[in-house]
Every structure is written in structure tokens, then in C-alpha cells.
Chains A and B, each alone.
Chain A
Amino acid sequence: MTAVMGTPMKRKEDPKLLTGEGKFVDDIQVPGQLWMGMVRSTMAHANIKGIDTSAAAQMPGVHSVYTGSELADMDLWIAPLPCVWPVTPDMLNPPHYPVAAETAHHVGDIVAVVLADSRYEAADAAEQVVVDYEVLPVVASLADAVAGEKLAHQDLGTNQAYHWALEPAPEAVEAAFASAVHTVKGEFVQQRLIPAAMEPRGVLAVPSPHGGELTIYSSTQVPHILKVMFAATTGIPEQKIRVIAPAVGGGFGAKLNVNPDELLAVTLANRLGRAVRWTETRSEAAFSTHQGRGQHQTIEIAADAEGKIQAVRVHLNADMGAYMMLITPGVPVLGSFLYTGVYNVPAFGFTCDGYFTNLTPTDAYRGAGRPEASYAIERAMDMLAAEVGVGPEEIRRRNYLAGGEAFEDLETASTLVFDSGHYGPNLDAALEMAGYSDLLAQQQARRDAGDKKELGIGLCTYVEICGLAPSRALAGLNYGAGGWEAGTVRLLPTGKVEVVSGSTPHGQGHETSWSQIVADKLGIDPNDVTVLHSDTAISPLGLDTYGSRSLSVGGVAIAMACDKVIDKAKQIAAHQLEANLDDLTFEGGSFSVKGSPDKALAIQEIAFGAFTAHNLPDGMEPNLNEQVIFDPPNFAFPFGTHVAVVEVDTDTGGTTLLDYIAVDDCGNQVNPMIVEGQIHGGIVQGVAQALYEVAEYDADGNCKNPSFLDYLVPSPTELPNIKTGFTTTPSTSNPLGVKGAGEAGTIGSAAAVINAVCNALKPYGVNDIEMPATPMRVWQAINEGSQG
């Protein structure tokens, strides 16, 4: 059996998804189901004076209509929607119920719900509900919230939800800035983004009126978390709840929440004894699913004469939106540790103020706090390079942790211990792949020729925190759960293998990668392995998928479970072969006795023997069925260097991404094909933030571009092919030496692209461009000089 770990095995998931056989939530039909139609507030901030549901109730196919106050009287909930990351003890967290009863706090806040026989009838009836609003002042932007003249929640008396600080050495930071030769200051806007997974969110709750069980199908990344949160918010006994995430069409963080629609479906199905369902429409998603980013960043670097960093100081204002969702307040906090980037920073300070606005809540979106951090430090490093008068690659080299040499378990100024890194060769590889010196020559040649199309080259050397997470580290951050993951490996009587995965896929290919790990460990064919997941009845223990954690926590748990299986099988082999344990070797799926190669047992034979239990060592439990719950000792810190090459048409301001080179290091790889795919997609989401996407709001708090007509998710024509390369620096945080790849691309690419645009516009005195770098913004910057 040749190794399958590290090979680009084709995905087991694909045939079902390619043929329409894969079932997403909206594909599952249940007899007697009722469709929910949401009546959403059209006002960003308003008291609800009255709701007339009479016309809606008379519409064809309508079963019932409930207003927020009617639902409040039905005792459906024992607690508001959960926020599990109260980052400070005094954080403000106004109660958030699935349907607003008295006051709507953002456009899209649900104010009433219709139940009807079909999706069309539910939508029709929802339109007939008449709501009388008393309009209140609207906090329509983060700037409005900070100004504080209007309040997003009137009863709070302030818009500021919390102040969080990471200031391990404030005096050292002050002293470094006082004595610095060079200082730079960047102020950046992380615009709001609509996550836009291609499958809209949906839920189907199926009750068992007599048995008392509830089965909930949800388009979610987090079925296990939903199960416990449904119990905690509805009072339905946890053991009666089963959550299934069927095929899930992308998540990107937007499907890790506990949402009002899900709680409505669960409680109404439970109360009415009928299946209740809902599927988001795309234009509704800007209001019904949380958004990403929404931060204003101020970053300052103090450096000595050579440009060596002496201190980094950061302040954020972060837009929570109207309510605290599951981990809303923690997103900027998660990023805080990465504002020192890959650099040796002797002194570091970070503060963050979270503010409420009357806009759609924010929460995790691919990278969740870490792309923002990477963007700020990497933009500021380019500013420092300009200040010192060296190239962007040189300023980075001068500041790399461990001087760019290999390191393990290195403590940084942001208090974290980086597992491993080796930044110098990674940068070298990226510059070589990009043909960096040729690119600089081309840039100069264009300038010499007076070309109106400027070439820009942008670098980013990022690091990310993934493998969430050591449970004790999460406790230190006041996060409300642990960070372990569960994996079970079970040999069936016929020698085939069932793996139960706690982490749940939504496009990452867990079935394939986990099969490769198990095949390699047990010396069997990966096609003899089936991976079960995403159903709390089949996989009762798990903490799901976010934060690039699946492989480095969940995959590792499965590898460790294989080791336990092998240990037990070895004892059985020793017993049955009448050999000493120490004389047994396990290779190619078979135990044999050293020196007696004819005395051997295949692991499949041992599995059958463990099943019959006819001849096991005294006291041994039958079967080979082992579970490991892995709580990692540390995070994993993947890193990489990205190079973006752009062409900026200085007549029109239009920017074209000509080339993109990414050299990533995510430690050891299980399936390089899947890793590369993750990197590609991640990069494009960062490119989209840099050049195209922004959720735009007017002064009344209306999202102006909720549909795909004007929210610019990139199409194939905006993008080049992406050149990927890898270096390999194994993690010390887990026995597989793996890191994570799901968010890396996004964490590196926005900074690389904007650095490239600014690099192109250097002759025009442009120091900064706000994202997205639209033709209008670029043209204005060219024609008005510096934005920075």
C-alpha cells in the first residue's frame, strides 16, 4: 500500500454533487410542511405602534400570522438569541429575540411571521401585513455610532458596547514611540461585506408530536452548536433535539450563527406539531444573515533608523451592527493577536471599542478579524518601507521573527506562542515565482515610456491563527465553549471502516481527507473508509467547522483514534499469534512477527476477531471502535507570501488583476489538491474585498445593494489564473504537523492587492486607497493626489 496522505486524491464527495444527487436543505420535502414568510422591518430604527395582519390572514394557503408581541406571549423562548463571547464582563448586550415586539433595530429585523402552505403563498401573505412604525433616529454607520449623537438602542444610553484592551507593556510602547526615528500611521476602513455563500441559508424543523423529538435540517456549519443553543434558548430538552446539516453550499462564517429564523422554525414546529421551513432569498440575505468586517483601524509603527520595528500600537472601532450575534464581539478580539504580523515587535498595544449601529449584525466572515489585522500591518509595512526608503521586501526581511530563520514555539509580543515559522525562504520562493525583479523592470519601463497604464506590484507576508482552539486559551478570552474536536474510527466486521467526524464540512472535502488519513494509518484502501458527519444523532460529539480548525483539530483526533485502534489490534494480534508485543510490527495493514514473516494477521482479520470476541485477551472489550477527543495544546500559525500584480488605467481608474502568486505554508498537507482549492477561493474573496465588494448603506440605514445585481461578487472574467506554491514547516501543535488552509488566502490577498494598487500609483503621490478600490476612488486619488 503506497502512501495516500499527501497525494491529490480525487474527492469522494464529487459524484453526488456533480449529478444533483446531493441534497441541500431546500431539496428536502416533508409532507404537511408550512413555509415561513418573514415580515421584515423596512425601517432601521422604529417603534412598532401596531401591526394589522387581517388581510394577510385571509390570503390563500395561509395557516397563521404571528406578530412579535403575539409570539412573546406564547412563551416560546426561555432566553434571547445567544452571544457566547462576552469579551468583557461589562459588555452591553441588549436582549435579541427572533421577532422584535416593540422596537425594530435594523432594516430586516423580523416583526411578524406568516405560515403558509407554499413558498409563494408565504411570500404573498407577508407582503399583506401592514406595520405602523414610529421612526426613531438611525445610527446608519460606524462613524454615526462613535459620534454618539443618535443611539442605536435608546435604553442603553450609549452606542459603545465594550472596550477591550491587550496592552501587555504600555510603558514600553510609549517609550518606543518617544525614541523612534521613523513612525508611520495608517488609518484603514474595513468595509462591511456580505458573505454570499452560493446556497442561501435555510432551515426545516420536523417535529414528532407524540414522541417529542425534533429533527432540524439546517444549512449550517455548526450542527452541534445549534443543538445545544436550541435547547438553551427554547427549553426543549437537549436530548430530544437532532440537528442535521445536509449538503451545505458554502459557509465562510455566515453559517456559524444561531439565527432568528432557525429559532422560529424550531419553536413553531414544536408548538404546532407540523414541519416548518424557510429558505432565504438572495436579496433577503443582506438582512437575514450576518455580515463581515465593519471596522475602522488606526495602526502606528515606531521603528529605528534601519526600519526595525520598536513598537506597534493599534486602535479599532468595530461595528457590531444592531445586536450581538453568537460571536460578534469576539471577531475583532480574535484579530488582535495578529497586528504584529510575522515581525519581531518588541512592544505592542491594542485597544478595541465595539459599537452598536442600526445595521445588520456583523459576525465571522472568512478570516474573522485576522484578514483585518493582516491588512493593517501589511499596509503599514509598505508605508514604513516608503518612510525608511527601502523596498517592501527589504523592510519585511529586516523585521521577520527569528530573522527569517526557522523557529519553533516562539513567544511574540502579542502574548501568543507561534508554533513554527520560517519566513525568509517563503518570501524568496514567492519573489522568484513572481519574477519580482523583472516585474520591477517592467514597471519602470512603462513609466519611462509614459504608459498611462501603470503596473503595480504588491506584497503581503501574512500569518494567521487557526486550529481553534486550545480550550484553556478560549477560557482566557471569555469564550463560552471549548475548542476540542472528536473523532471515532470503527472497524466493521467485514474489515471496512466507519469514521465519525465531529467537524462538519461545507465544501472542504472532509470525506476525502479523513479517508486519506485513515487509509495511511491503517494501511488500507481509502475507498474502504466511509466518513459519517453532520448529524448529531450519528456524530453526537463535535464543535464543528470554523477558524480553519477541521484538519488541525478534528483530523488530528481521527489520526489519534487510528493509533488507538492499532494499539488495541496489536494486543489482539500478539494474543492470537502467541507473540510478544515488542516482536510485532505493523506495516501495510498487517501485523507480523519479526523474524517470522509467515506469522501475520491483517487488520481486517483482527477486526473480525474483535467482533466475534471468541479469542480476545482476558478482560478486553470486543470490537475495534475508538474515539479521541483532541484538545490542542496550542493554535497553529500558517503563513505565506502573496504577490499581486495589477494594472491601473490612470485615465479611467480601472484596476485589473493581471497576476497573482501565492506561496503558502500550512505545514504538512493531507491532500494538496484540496489545499490548493482552498487557497484559490480564499484569495478571490480577499481580492473581492480589495476591488469590488461593499455593503453600502444610505443615511436611513437601508442597504443599497442587497442583490447580486449590484453587490459585486466577482465573476470568472475579473480574475486571472492563480499561481500557487508551497513551503512546508510542520506545526508543533499536533502530531500530524498540520496547520490550516481555509482562511489563509483571504488573510493574505486584500493587503497584497491594495499594496499593488498603491505601488502603481506611487508617482501620483497616492499613499492609500480605501477598499474597495473602485475606478471612481482610484481616479479621484490620481486626480486629487494623496488619499493618505
Chain B
Amino acid sequence: MLEARLEQANLLKKVVDAIKDLVQDCNFDCNDSGIALQAMDNSHVALVSMMLRSEAFSPFRCDRNIALGINLGSLTKVLRAAATDDILTLKAEDAPDVVNLVFESPSTDRISEYDIKLMDIDQEHLGIPETEYAATISLPASEFQRICRDLSALSESVSIECSKEGVKFNCQGDIGSGSIHLRPHTNVDKPDTNVEIDLTEPVSLTFSLKYLVNFCKASGLSDQVKLCLSNEVPLLVEYTLQTNSYLRFYLAPKIGDEE
């Protein structure tokens, strides 16, 4: 059986909020190393991969591997019932019909308990290799969100060019064009605002802005976001969570017609 106690119900809330607009239903794969999730959007051009390691929970108990097929809409509804600082406990049998969520208020003795019916989800599971990316850009999550939001007003897609000088987000739209240039930047006082570029070779790729905007819904999870690019390879957008956990998005580049 599974029993996972999460100090911050808010974490799960944010994760689910971030991905519920990308996928509808997905399997939460629980094993002794933690809870993992991998799902693709309907068009199969974007993939979300989440890993909540067992260290994020206290305690974490998972006797055998369980796949919890959950409709994210339902999960959102239930999670909405949790206060930000509630303690969340996930429970499931070994062959579960439902997943049980318990919210404990740390200040009061209020305990709320919900069951969500599980579903059988037949999902393609992709093996994603560890890749050495040609360019890795770390920037404030809010900054990336802003870039995407601003540029999406102009165009459907953005080209990300990364060179020694910095990274350039460039778009061409019907009403005009826009570009945002970021240079590496270090602020010792506020490391959150750092922009770091780790470059082995220059890359230039084009991506759908709508998807990027969608990914940015995870911005609340982490101060920094990491963009990893290599030519002809999907973009990796990673939000690092505490205790080695992460939320990653992959997006296939636009190849061919330059817009």
C-alpha cells in the first residue's frame, strides 16, 4: 500500500495546476523511490515529467509499484479544498479503486478526507535519455514567463538563439516583430535573479509560444527555470523542486517552415 505524507499540500497543488492544462488524465507511478508522472499532451509534441522523490515526503511508504490513474481535473477540485499550509497524506491500497487524500490543518484539529476514483489510463511511456545539451540557460522563472507572455502577443512561435553573447528570444508576427536579449548576469545578493548560460555550441531553435506559455504555469514552483537546448532535439524546461525532485517539460522544436 501507499502512504505518503507531504508537509506542503501546496506543492502538489501547484504541480497539478501546472500540468492540468497540458494533460487531462495521467498515471502517478508510485514506487519506493517516490511518485513519478509522465504524460504527453494530446498532440504528442509536448511531454511533462514529474518526479517527487520519497525524500520529499515524511514518511513515505510504498510497498509495491502502484499506478494511480487520476483525472487531473478531479484532482484539482479536491486539492482546492486544501489550505496552503495543510499537511497532505496520500493513501492507496495495493490494487486501488480510489486514492485517498487527507488534509490536516497544522494549526487547528481539522482533518478533511477525500477519495478520488481512479481510472485505467493506457499511456505511452517514453524512455528519455540523459542528454548533454549544447546550451543550458538558467533564468528566473518569472523572467521566462514574462518573455513568453510578451512574445506570444506578437506571434505563435519564438526562436531561441543562444550564443556566446547571450540568449535572444526573437519572434516575427503579423503586427511586427520583437526580440528579447538576455546576457549572463550574476547578482550575489539576489541569486534568484541570476541568468546563467552554459554553452558548448551555439544553438538556434524555434518553439511554439503557446506551449511555452503553458509550461510557465509552473513558475510558482521554483524561482529559477532551466532551459536546455540542442539543435534538433526537444527543448527541456525544468523547474527544480526541493529534495531533488523536479518538474520537467519537453517540447518538440519547430522544424522546417521558418515563421
* A and B: bona fide binding partners: no
List residues of chain A with CB under 8 Å of any chain B CB. Answer: none
